[in-house]
Amino acid sequence: MIDVDQPQSALPGLEEPAGPLHRLFFALVPPESVREQIAAVAHALREGGAIEARWVKPARYHVTLAFLGDHPSLRPSLLEAARAAVGKVRVAPFTWSPDQVASFTGRRPPCVLRSTHASQALQTLWEQLRRELSLVRLGGRIERSFTPHVTLAYGLRDLPAPIAVAPIAWPVDRVVLLHSEVGSSDYETLGSWRLPG
């Protein structure tokens, strides 16, 4: 006998489908002028025919600083902790200059834009953000090392060697908190924090 007071979602075979997972991460998002320069690099590679891959739309260009995981909901406590952590970062604005296209190792590695020389300011930004996120227990999904890059394409065969491109001067003056539903191609900005000058 079925208990009529039991909610339908709890009845066998009538479970509510799981909702979308919410992906959160801190990132650097290029200003429009830099986005256009990155898109020009990608266009030249695509038109040159040297790289066959699934190309990322320019609106999605970013550098991931800290991945905060996939969550069943955007809990206020989660967002408050993330905002509190990034608010304690103290790095002055700087310029990052990516100047090469390369691939990571793997079966289907991404094609990325990165810099030949490490940026100490960018490394410091990552280290401070990682430390502050760890203090609010959000650092568990952050990588132990940091290779700043912008993904240009997916499904690439390994490049035999990096390809030099004209340096792109990217003024880094803010960190953004991005949200997307897993499987969606759109990002939503949940916050933006200007680096203290």
Residue type present at position 125: L
Structure tokens that stand for 128 in this block: 């401070």
Residue type present at position 69: G
- The pLDDT tens digits of the residues spanning 96-132 come to 999 999 988 766 788 999 999 999 999 999 999 999 9
**What pLDDT band is residue 187 in, cutting at 50, 70 and 90?**
confident
Q: What is the pLDDT of residue 41?
A: 95
Minimum mean pLDDT range among 14-18, 70-74, 166-170 = 14-18
Q: pTM here?
A: 0.85
Closest to 101 measured CA to CA, from 57, 144, 46: 46
Q: What is the mean pLDDT of the chain?
A: 86
Minimum mean pLDDT range among 10-14, 53-57, 108-112, 156-160 = 10-14
**CA–CA–CA angle 122, 130, 171 (5° rounding):** 25
Q: How far is CA 157 from the centre of its chain?
A: 22
How many angstroms separate the CA atoms of 77 and 81, rounded?
6
Structure tokens that stand for 38 in this block: 């990155």
Q: Which residue has the higher pLDDT, 109 or 45?
A: 45
How many angstroms separate the CA atoms of 36 and 30, rounded?
9
How many angstroms separate the CA atoms of 164 and 170, rounded?
17
